[in-house]
Structure 1
Amino acid sequence: MATTTISSSLITPSARALHHRRSCCRCPSRLSIGAAAPLAFTAARARRRQLAVARVVASSSVLEAPEEVAARKLYVGNIPRTVTNEELTAMFAEHGTVERAEVMYDKYTGRSRRFGFVTMSTAEEANAAIESLNDTEVGSRKIKVNVTESFLPNIDRTAPEPEPVFVDSQYKVYVGNLAKSVTTEMLKNFFSEKGEVLSATVSRIPGTSKSKGYGFVTFSSEEEVEAAVSTFNNAELEGQPIRVNKA
């Protein structure tokens, strides 16, 4: 059988180029480029990480301590149910820059719980709002404005808060069917509209902060007791009709 030998001189330039491309994986120049690419990528990623850390450090320098935030956040209680977030904002905007205003709503009924929170831009503005708005009337209701106590260091938040000392009296009413969210302060403020409230208390399960659903309010006269019963029996407190009668 005859053997055909092809001389290298007969390989065309295009054939040589094809041969070179097929064997490019063994090309020293290509190997050096491939090895440098991961190094460049790693260096770029390191630079991005350094920039991110720098941004975090820069931003952390302007973060406020929790107690400073609490000094700007106000509790607004006993507001009419019709007050909206926008109206609450407008009410406090006269005394500074309002960063946030929020009326709290019952998650089941969707009705206002008659209180909310307002965050001012500075503690000075918050104090000015308290001085101007606390105990003023909004929609025939006397509102309460004070600084929140959201920052309480070294306190076990799972433990029940101590109740104010209850001052008993012969002029006393029983208040039943209280919503679980009603506090002693809320109960006292609610009945203050019809007389001088000496004291109030919401009964709680011993050792816990859970309400038993009833409480007592004491007054300085029999007339105030009569007025409280006739006015507030079946009235709504925290979205729930309450029962009021002489204790």
Structure 2
Amino acid sequence: MATISSIPTLNLLSQPKTSIRIQAQSSKHSFQLSKPTHLRHSYGNSVSPILLKPKEISRVSAVAEETSVSTQDPSSEAARRLYVGNIPRTVDNAELKKIFEEHGAVEKAEVMYDKYSKRSRRFAFVTMKTVEDVNAAIEKLNGSDIGGREIKVNITEKPLSTGDTSLLQAEESQFVDSPHKVYVGNLAKTVTSDMLSKFFSEKGNVLGAKISRVPGTSKSTGFGFVSFASDEDVEAAISSLNNALLEGQKIRVNKA
């Protein structure tokens, strides 16, 4: 954990209304951050405000961030869930679990499959029993070779904030579904629902478009859906836009 090794010139300040408390490990010293440039130092019952220079501010920010990470509840599923990418399509849940069990106790292993083609999407999620098992799996398996492919193993993305969740819920609620719909695959991660809607509007009367997200995050899964007013619009979209380039990638378009 980062520590603060030097204390700059002391200046008396008024007591701040809000603060963030940062506790250094193995020390009786504690620090209290109020405004971006002010720090309060306390020892025992005495308190003296401290004025920080920009370099010290960045170091304090690092301490605050590390403290936040270190206090994450190790028993939560989010702290024990791993993303496993670039796996061979032949790897199923049982085989994936067996691979990870060589490096720790596995609670659950789940390969992600395409809803329509039923083929593996080449990534999965593995929940380990403990954080120690998580660290061991990352150390031993990230970058390792499975079936001729170099796999990626890391901790899953941070959960969405309340604001992000509201935005995605609003996006979902705005999607107008219809029986005339296409599935759009191999989308670049940068493609948004609005971009998808505008792209397909050139070929038909688009009622709605949405990007599928990795559960609990804002990350695109690489596919989405576009609904139209008629089956003629669907056919026109498939014939004109299947294998078309969108954000530098050839997209796949077929009936949903």
TM bucket normalised to smaller: 0.3 to 0.5
More strand by share: 2
For normalisation by structure 1, the TM-score amounts to 0.42
Which structure exhibits the higher relative contact order, with contacts defined as CA atoms closer than 8 Å and separated by 6 or more residues? 1
For normalisation by structure 2, the TM-score amounts to 0.41
More helix by share: 1
